[in-house]
């Protein structure tokens, strides 16, 4: 039997050693595309038994060109860069790693919230430029008693909530798919989306990117927010309409924003770049040295499970597995 081949479409990681070590146990050979273009990815993926992917777009055309692939395993939580329908019709299971950076993203959300509330980046820039006045940061409000509204109440915001509560914030959330007991156990009020917008001093986005959440935070949403409120997005860039956000900031519909994710990464002509009331981080919420090892090991373990005839832990299109056993 020829050795198993695992292609890697793209890698932002300093090393692929943790994944390589897992895959070496089934004798699989790892091949990284020379660049994240469809042509370069297909050069290593066409005859591969599995494909690992981080941010590269895996289109229907690319999926049709895969001759042996049994699994597309995403190094990450969201799978919006993979054409799921095409993978399903090609009989390829798509997997994700839903639980590797929950600590990091929830910490990053709180870091952004605190940086907005205490105006840390702005104050830091003032002092480095020779300033030392309190007047530059006026007004700052006490956090205790303020409202944090979460859009989505999945794994990450469920860890944001207790951290925010330790600062005295009242936490409300909108998630139509999470049962009432989860909200009750977390001591978080379940509310409608409109209430998240109207009641919150900080609105934090934690939904997946889906057709119904693309542009969810647009002009209409910003008009409903408090003019003193801040928006935080650590989920996916296109959930926020950046042009509408820039206009809302200009019109005073909200006070500021902190974004770890953007519609185009890196941003090329975003109207949000260069504003004193906007904090931007380069999609690093998920990152810690420890989370990267967890991520690579878990994504590679999904590959070894599927290539050795076992069911993966986190399939996004499990119907493919039923078709295989039928
Ligand atoms: N910036 C980063 O580095 C980074 C890292 C990890 C995850 N993420 C993103 O963070 C987001 C949240 O991750 P998670 O682990 O909490 O996800 P999760 O899968 O645990 O939860 C997602 C939740 O969103 C809810 N939801 C779906 N549609 C909704 C809607 N229209 N309104 C409200 N809720 C809705 C679902 O019911 C689910 O409870 C995802 O978009 C993920 O891609 C970003």
* pTM: predicted TM-score of the whole model, two decimal places: 0.90
Cβ proximity of 68 and 48 under 8 Å: yes
Strand 71-74 with 256-259, pairing: unpaired
Alpha carbons 164 and 113: distance in angstroms, whole number: 9
Which neighbouring-strand residues pair with 132?
none
Q: Shortest CA distance to 5 belongs to which of 67, 58, 55, 83?
A: 67
* Mean pLDDT score, 168-190: 98
Atom of ligand 1 nearest to the CA of 158: 16
Looking at 283, 301, 302, 305, which residue is catalytic?
283
Give backbone dihedrals phi and psi of 170, rounded to 5 degrees, phi first: -90, 130
For 190, the 3-state DSSP assignment is strand
Residue with tokens 């206009």: 247
* Mean pLDDT score, 1-6: 87
Q: Which tokens in the block code for residue 184?
A: 């009750």
Looking at 236, 253, 301, 302, which residue is catalytic?
236
Closest-CA residue, ligand 1 atom 41, reads 208
* Mean pLDDT score, 264-281: 96
Any ligand 1 atom below 6 A from CB of 57: no
Residue 325 clears pLDDT 80, i.e. is over it: no
Cβ proximity of 255 and 228 under 8 Å: yes
Give backbone dihedrals phi and psi of 67, rounded to 5 degrees, phi first: -95, -25
Query: Residue 235 Cα, ligand 1 centroid: separation in angstroms?
Result: 6
Q: Which tokens in the block code for residue 289?
A: 């040295």
Alpha carbons 297 and 13: distance in angstroms, whole number: 13
Count of alpha carbons within 13 angstroms of residue 185, beta-carbon side: 8
pLDDT-based confidence at 322, cuts 50/70/90? confident
pLDDT at 5: 97
Which neighbouring-strand residues pair with 72?
51, 94
pLDDT at 78: 85
pLDDT at 323: 75
- Ordered alpha helix ranges (H), 118-213: 120-128, 155-165, 180-186, 193-199
Q: pLDDT of 31-70, one tens digit each?
A: 999 999 999 999 999 999 999 999 999 999 999 999 999 9
Query: Residue 98 Cα, ligand 1 centroid: separation in angstroms?
Result: 10
pLDDT at 74: 97
Any ligand 1 atom below 6 A from CB of 104: no
pLDDT at 3: 87
Any idea of the CA torsion for 107, 113, 115, 117, to the nearest 10 degrees?
A: -150
Annotated catalytic residue 283: yes
- Rounded to an integer, what is the distance from CA 203 to the centroid of its chain? 16
Atom of ligand 1 nearest to the CA of 80: 43
* Mean pLDDT score, 77-81: 91
pLDDT at 324: 67
pLDDT-based confidence at 326, cuts 50/70/90? low
Q: pLDDT of 165-174, one tens digit each?
A: 999 999 999 9
pLDDT at 288: 95
Q: pLDDT of 196-210, one tens digit each?
A: 999 999 999 999 999
* Mean pLDDT score, 160-186: 98
* Mean pLDDT score, 214-218: 98
The number of beta carbons lying within 10 Å of the beta carbon of residue 49 is: 21
Which neighbouring-strand residues pair with 53?
74
* Mean pLDDT score, 312-317: 98
pLDDT at 2: 76
CB-count burial class (<10 Å; 0-12, 13-18, 19+) for 139 = exposed
């Amino acid at each position: 039997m020829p050795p198993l081949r695992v292609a890697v479409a793209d890698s932002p990681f300093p090393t692929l050693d943790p994944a390589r070590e897992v895959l070496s146990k089934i004798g699989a050979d790892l091949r990284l595309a020379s660049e994240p273009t469809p042509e370069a990815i297909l050069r290593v993926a066409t005859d591969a038994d599995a494909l690992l992917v981080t941010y590269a777009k895996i289109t229907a055309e690319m999926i049709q060109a895969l001759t042996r692939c049994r699994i597309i395993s995403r190094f990450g939580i969201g799978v919006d860069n993979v054409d799921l329908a095409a993978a399903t019709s090609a009989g390829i299971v798509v997997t994700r790693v839903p639980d590797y950076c929950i600590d990091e993203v929830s910490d990053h959300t709180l870091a952004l919230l605190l940086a907005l509330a205490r105006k840390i980046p702005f104050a830091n820039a003032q002092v480095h430029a020779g300033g030392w006045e309190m007047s530059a940061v006026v007004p700052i409000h006490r956090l205790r008693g303020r409202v944090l509204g979460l859009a989505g109440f999945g794994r990450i915001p469920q860890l944001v909530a207790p951290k925010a509560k330790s600062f005295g914030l009242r936490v409300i959330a909108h998630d139509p798919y999470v049962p009432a007991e989860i909200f009750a156990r977390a001591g978080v009020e379940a509310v409608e989306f409109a209430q998240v917008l109207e009641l919150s001093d900080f609105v934090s986005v934690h939904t997946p990117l889906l057709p119904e959440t693309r542009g969810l935070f647009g002009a209409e949403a910003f008009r409903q927010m408090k003019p003193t409120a801040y928006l935080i997005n650590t989920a996916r860039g296109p959930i926020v309409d950046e042009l509408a956000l820039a206009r809302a900031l200009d019109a005073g519909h909200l006070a500021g924003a902190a974004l770890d994710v953007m519609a185009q990464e890196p941003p090329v002509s975003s109207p949000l770049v260069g504003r004193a009331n906007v904090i931007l981080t380069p999609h690093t919420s998920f990152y810690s040295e420890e989370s990267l090892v967890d991520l690579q090991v878990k994504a590679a373990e999904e590959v070894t499970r599927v290539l050795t005839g076992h069911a993966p832990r986190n399939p996004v299109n499990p119907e493919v597995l039923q078709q295989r056993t039928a």
